[in-house]
Structure 1
Amino acid sequence: MAYQSVKGMHDILPDDQPVWDRVRSAARHVGDFYNFLRIDTPILESADLFERGLGAGTDIVEKEMFVVKTKGDKMVMRPEFTAAVMRAYFQHGLGQYGQPVKVYYEGPVFRHEQPQAGRFRQFYQAGFEILGAESDPIYDAQAILGVYRILEELKIKNVAVHINSIGCHKCRATYIKKLEAYYKKNAQKTCKDCKVRITRNPLRVLDCKEEKCQLVKADAPIILDFLDTECKAHFTKVLEYLDEVKIPYHIDSHLVRGLDYYNRTVFELFTEGFTYAIAAGGRYDYLSETLKLGKLSAVGSTIGMDRVVEVLKASGKGIAAKASAKVFLVHMGDEAKKRGLALIEEFRKAGIRINESFGKDSLKSQLRVADKDRAHLAMILGQREVFEGSIIIRNMQTGTQESVPLERAVEEVKKRLK
């Protein structure tokens, strides 16, 4: 039987690599510009890091983590980066870089979700974390700015920032009581999972995507009405900073995000024609204490790279012509093949890309490949040319050709490519 990729996981084939490279490049460029330092964390982490950090009542912890057990150790394939970055900060004393520490990352994450449009079991994220961000709302704005600029650099139009504040532990406690009372009254109108969430973790009900739960949510209490003075002032400042850098936003008063570690600012970014968020994030001042690592305020943001790639492909911006070599080496005979291998290395040192078809032997078949590859020049090297120390350079557009000394091949090609 023919093997297939594991359900929910997909290959990134050569034709798709150019658009993926664009997304990776944009993330790195924006990260470098805003002075974020690159960090890479292992795919395998302690299960407790996420069970404690993300919250026992979250979907990720309850049913989506890939668990690896070996010799008494319980590990998971990371379902997200934030908790792992927080662990790395304390393990390696990253505070030595000065506060706040700004880091960015990219790589695969793993969740055992039901595969569907925009959702995979292995998917890729690129993001920013600002650690030691205190409670200054300017860092919340910077986190949003980072992912917004990536999408802008990729020329994704009509990006909408949905933003909310879910307050601090203190003001949120009052809100949760009201929310729980509302949903208990409307429990029969919610889905099976939300009936459990109402008592275990009421905020998670607001994050449910089921249509019936969305209808109930429309009349649910709004957390902005319960914010204390400090949280209100913080949220107002975040919006003022976004206004200053002209980032459009929409206050989504029921937005909560799906992880327990968030407080105050939460946000998601959408684009026209897609129902799922392509970037998201928020503030997480309590995560380090929840993990018993110490006190450290922080805020972060991430883009879903797979989703951004889909947006680019759907808009036609993801279709990039393969960067082909302008020069093609044609060989005839074993000696020419051997000398051609060394010749390619000379061109590599000169920074000139060369393609070849060492698997084909006839002149006609190799020239056909050169034509298909849209090469500007073909260098023809046969047994006679090797013996004489020469090479034929052929213009693929005009068909004209000239024999030149082999030792001057790089120089002559450079001259013709100008």
Structure 2
Amino acid sequence: MADTVEAVPQTAILDSQKNDPSFPNIWQELVWRGLIHVSTDEGELEELLAGEPITYYCGFDPTAPSLHLGNLVQLLVLRRLQLAGHKPLGLVGGSTGLIGDPRPTAERTLNTKDTVAEWVGYLKAQVSRFLSFEGENAARIVNNLDWTAPLSAIDFLREIGKHFRVGTMLRKDAVASRLSSDEGISYTEFSYQILQGMDYLELYRQYGCVLETGGSDQWGNLTSGTELIRKVEGKTVHALGTPLITNADGTKFGKSEGNAIWLDPVMCSPYTFYQFWLNTSDADVVDRLKVFTFLTRVEIEQFEASVAERPFAREAQRRLAFEVTSLVHGVDAAEKVIAASAALFGNGDLGVLDEGTLSAATAELTTAAVTAEQLGIVELLVATGLAESKSAARRTVGEGGAYVNNTKITDPDATVTVEDALHGRYFLVRRGKKNLATAVLEG
């Protein structure tokens, strides 16, 4: 899976990315894009980010083999700050991933050390694709297992634990919600905020890191680090929490029937990924353009006008889908997906689609297995459920509404051949303009 992620060329995309010069500084642009929900002193942070380059970090825990859309928000914040001249540290949590931050309702299932180590490799590859490792402010990937593993339990308690007050820890939102639940909270998850605080202290000492970014739901963990550095080093450092991205109707963004939209193309195909963005509602699309693309304020305001004046054209959704799919999977993958979408409905050549793209594009269609003896147009329409009976199928053909692989079939006695199958297996069967199904050749 890691090889799949690294295979997508990103150099051209990184080179094309720029912050919007119409803003006086990066802080003001982050505010306009809706990326600041909570932070330490705003005035100090704005001044800090407008000044000399600083080192900052964001952490990603390997609690799954891939990052998802929520993580993409953080990756883009890292990149925007890097484009402003600052030095990013992408932390992959080889130690914190063994524990996992507290869930709101129940204890996490702990993964094995081997599994977490494998996932660390995947996440390093993913994080690396969104940052530049060249120039004076080149990114660096770090793993908190490097400084946590050598530390004994006694040393951990004496050197780090003594600076944390249980009363303060109990008041953290993630902990408080679990304490009031039937599940309670284990000492393992309770200690997570200490480990994250220690990460910030270590990065401050090693690299002079003075800013941590993360989701606003992690604010308790973010401030555990700022407080620890203040106590141990007597220094003021900063934290920035981005808002949790929700849809206009209040539902959680990036979830579909409990499934995250993953950044790994094996776990979520580029076609599915593109369609997710294409289906963004009019109420949400402008906000998504601000957060997930590098389009300028002027460009986004033009799309905002388009949504208001020509919502049926869905210009903003199509641009959003192209931009984010290109960002995550590469321009070539985005163009293949667009070609597949057009070809499904007769506006392109199905034959040019690679098997992976074709399979992903037809994944949600009704699929029927057929044999070489069932390749008559009538049999295909019935087998795929596009016609209720052979007589209904014949009427569809007679009315000019039957297609196989985008070829119109006008003879109800016509058959297709095995040689006509896409990639030797697939027949895209269509009734009219919008009713689609797939017949897959057995054997």
TM over 0.5: no
Structure with greater proportional helix content: 2
Q: TM-score, normalised by structure 2?
A: 0.25
Q: TM-score, normalised by structure 1?
A: 0.26
Q: Is the radius of gyration larger for structure 1 or structure 2?
A: 1
Structure with greater proportional strand content: 1
